[in-house]
Amino acid sequence: MIPRIVVTGTDTNIGKTVFAAGLADFLGADYWKPVQAGLEDETDTQTVARLGGLSGERILPERYRLVTPASPHLAARLDGVMIDVDALTPPDTARPLLIEGAGGLMVPLDRHTLYIDVFKRWQIPVVLCARTALGTINHSLLSIAALKARGIPLLGIAFIGEPNAESENIICEIGAVRRLGTLPWLAPLTRETLRAAFRDAFNADDFTT
């Protein structure tokens, strides 16, 4: 079976899209963002294509492209669009598929459906991205508990930011989750520096077993 992975986060603006770009490049995967909210700046799909060096055929079009940079349920309402959550079905691909959610697990897609509800239906293994800064223990353990309570397979947790061994270790110990590695902040942030960081910090086999 061709591997499929969901990349989600404990919060928004933690570097999840940069991580997704590096992982897609690392695994030679296709990339799909089901719902994009906010089109004025570079979209997540464009960021992944640029930083991951993904060619056009490896970028799958978003199911919904919403103008307003807000939670999908609000962006859809402001755009006069109704998100059909049942239509959010991962496409079949010839390569591994990387799917990126929006913000955290509890982001609403409509008045009744959260992203985590869709992940439960898909039953695709999840990589949880977490910051290393203050507050990460609470956010990470809550997210891990939410995934496990719904029976969603969790591949492991990937930390983003300056390494923080104490926080990372206690999260993995209490959450009983595998630590996949830590992606540091990169300056400059380019495909080359991102590739090198992934080679140093992660093992490709951890994302497929």
Query: DSSP string spanning 54-117?
Result: --GGGEEPPSEEESSSS-HHHHHHHHT----GGG--PPP-SS-EEEEEEEETT-BSSSS-BHHH
The pTM assigned to this predicted structure is 0.96
Q: Give the closest residue to 74 by CA, choosing from 32, 112, 111.
A: 111
Quickly state the pLDDT bin for 2 (edges 50, 70, 90).
Answer: confident
pLDDT (tens digit, 9 = 90+) per residue, 56-102? 999 999 999 999 999 999 999 999 999 999 999 999 999 999 999 98
Which residues have a catalytic role annotated? 33
pLDDT (tens digit, 9 = 90+) per residue, 15-52? 999 999 999 999 999 999 999 999 988 999 999 999 99
pLDDT (tens digit, 9 = 90+) per residue, 102-131? 889 999 999 999 999 999 999 999 999 999
Domains, the chain = 4-207 (3.40.50.300)
Select the more confidently predicted residue: 115 or 1.
Answer: 115
Quickly state the pLDDT bin for 209 (edges 50, 70, 90).
Answer: confident
* C-alpha to C-alpha distance for 137 and 170, rounded to whole angstroms: 8
